[in-house]
Amino acid sequence: MNRVVVGLQWGDEGKGKVVTYLSRYHDFVVRFSGGANAGHTVNYGDFKMVHHLMPSADFSRNVGVAIGSGVLLDPDVFSQEHRELFDKFPGYSGKILISENAHVVLDLHKRFDEMVDQLLRIGTTKRGIGPATADRAMRVSVRLADIDDPEKMKTLLEKNLSLKKMYGLSAELNEIVRRLEGFYQSFREHIVPVLQLKRILEEKSLLFEGTQGVLLDVDVGTYPYVTSTSCSSAGVSAGMGFPVKVDEVVGVFKAYTTRVGEGPFPTELKGKEGELLRETGREYGATTGRPRRCGWLDLPLLKYAIEVAGVDVLVMTKADVLVGFEKVKVCVKYKGEGELLSLKGLERKEPVYETFDGWKSLEDERFARFVSFIEKETGKKIKYVSTGEKVGDMLEV
Ligand code: IMP
Ligand code: MG
């Protein structure tokens, strides 16, 4: 049985924790898009791991991990997380597979990201994801497979560097080659042809780990304030490069909303209330450390994301953060508007709120009322409620 976990807001819904928890029911956790812009924090109790590239499998249970062709692979980040994995779990015996068609992210991409974002002001994570995606589309990017073919790799890099020159950027070709070859040598046993990956995974039960969230998806998100890749369930087959049957789409959302970077956010709280959410929920970016913008739950956007991603069941996270809040608000619609079919003009929408009594604990009946209200509004069952930071803090309902 295959599942995909997708974020239903602007990322940071707690997918890392949810995926790690659910991974006990699967053989492999598979990343299909995005790259080290993701920051999935997993709290094992004694320590935390922040996964940027390494899939969030429960390593204590030896669940395997795989990285598909659609992932933009930063060799330095991957090496570092691979080291951390064996530091924390020296006996880990799960399989680690990487598609040889995955493209690499270079330092050059990160520098370009910095430079371009000064002008475009999207508020990217500066992990080079947009520029690497652009290079892939321009056909001047290097895949892992190309590293094993030095002439081809050099030709691609020469073309790439001539294009970058137009933007006033330069890099040392031999230095790039040296680093890529070093990476390839270290990980060659894990780098597999796409058909081999397909055959291995076909036999297994897979948990696809979405990154970012539906509202940051390049096709259906708040463009241009989005990431450059697909973050929704629709991206799974494209990201793997072969059709994948997904039996269940699990949508993860926070009991309130956060966003990092620029772009519309109708329920954003700019004053003290926003600060309270940020401090209570410790809402600081796992990748960049930036304070996250905070606001109330937005049902029109949640319903949009659920439908566009074909969500089957929901997981609510961070409702524990709201314990002790006297009142909790939910945006139930936008002023003067019916159902939200498009994100067009989102920056001009005005939320209409319904106010709920806050809850004293997650066993509180007032919390149960909040849960049923969301289930009724979305028409989807909330199958799990995350009750705290640690992997095991999950309530199946
Ligand atoms: P990029 O993906 O670094 O190009 O950034 C584009 C937009 O997506 C920016 O608003 C980022 O803050 C946002 N973003 C990218 N990755 C994440 C994530 O993992 N969590 C939350 N926001 C993200
Ligand atoms: Mg995150």
* Residues above pLDDT 70, as percent of the chain: 100
Contacts of 135 (CB under 8 A, 6+ apart): 103, 109, 141, 160
Q: What is the pLDDT of residues 132-148, one digit of tens each?
A: 999 999 999 999 999 99
The kind and range of the H/E element at 371 are helix 365-378
Q: What is the pLDDT of residues 369-389, one digit of tens each?
A: 999 999 999 999 999 999 999
**Residue 108 pLDDT class (50, 70, 90 cuts):** very high
Q: Whose CA is nearest to atom 2 of ligand 1?
A: 227
The residues annotated with a catalytic role in the active site are 12, 40
Contact indicator for 335, 352 with CB cutoff of 8 Å: yes
Q: How far apart are CA 47 and CA 337, in angstroms?
A: 46
Average pLDDT, the chain: 97
Is the C-beta atom of 260 inside 6 A of ligand 1?
Answer: yes
Domains and CATH numbers, the chain: 3-101+191-248 (3.40.440.10), 103-186 (1.10.300.10), 252-396 (3.90.170.10)
- Distances, alpha carbon 180 to alpha carbons 148, 169, 183, in Å: 10, 19, 5
Of 41, 216, 283, 294, the residue with max ligand 1 atoms within 8 A of its CB, to mutate for a pocket test, comes to 216
**What DSSP designation does 284 have?**
B
Contact indicator for 17, 260 with CB cutoff of 8 Å: no
Taking residues 275-295, report their average pLDDT: 95
**What DSSP designation does 319 have?**
G
Taking residues 86-99, report their average pLDDT: 98
**Residue 269 pLDDT class (50, 70, 90 cuts):** very high
Structure token pair of residue 369: 């009322």
Is the C-beta atom of 35 inside 6 A of ligand 1?
Answer: no
Q: How far apart are CA 61 and CA 75, in angstroms?
A: 25
Taking residues 317-327, report their average pLDDT: 97
Contact indicator for 11, 221 with CB cutoff of 8 Å: no
